[in-house]
Amino acid sequence: MLEDLITSPWRVYPALVLLLVGTWLITTGLLWLTRSAHRPISSAEKLLLAVRGFRLAMIGLALAGTGGAWLSHQLWLLAISLGIALVELLESSTIIWALRRESRRTKPHSPSLPSR
């Protein structure tokens, strides 16, 4: 059954969808990285936006690599693209978690209404 999925003639269509979605995510991630470069240096959101853009681009590369591997029947390309994507996704998600936690901790508290 798995062999039929890999060698079927209609595999081109979902593989192309993976390639197109992956390319769109790569482009969006790179745009986020570019937008982060135009923020003030002291902005905490600058690094968060850059890491989010990097993570989105890595997801896009994984999808595009998976689509390319499916089209060309290259198992090594599938293994490399998914392996690198999983490691980078874990690392960037950890960085985003730490940045969010730090920004919550250092953000000044706004005055609130007294409790009754």
pLDDT at 79: 93
62: tokens are 């994984």
How far is it, in rounded angstroms, from Cα 78 to Cα 23? 16
Q: Are 24 and 60 in contact (CB under 8 A)?
A: yes
Q: What pLDDT band is residue 36 in, cutting at 50, 70 and 90?
A: confident
- Could you tell me which residues come within 8 angstroms of residue 46 by beta carbon, excluding any fewer than 6 positions away? 36, 39, 40
For the chain, what is the mean pLDDT? 85
- Could you tell me which residues come within 8 angstroms of residue 25 by beta carbon, excluding any fewer than 6 positions away? 56, 57, 59, 60, 63
Mean pLDDT over 30-52 rounds to: 85
40: tokens are 């003030």
Higher confidence at residue 17 or residue 104? 17
pLDDT at 40: 79
Q: Is the pLDDT of residue 115 over 60?
A: no
CA angle 86, 83, 93 (to 5 degrees): 15
Higher confidence at residue 115 or residue 63? 63
Q: Is the pLDDT of residue 56 over 60?
A: yes
Question: What pLDDT digit, counting tens, does each position of 72-111 carry?
Answer: 888 899 999 999 999 999 999 999 998 888 877 776 555 5
| Dihedral angle sign, alpha carbons of residues 34, 35, 36, 40 | positive
Task: Indicate the Cα dihedral angle 52, 55, 56, 59, nearest 10°.
Answer: -160
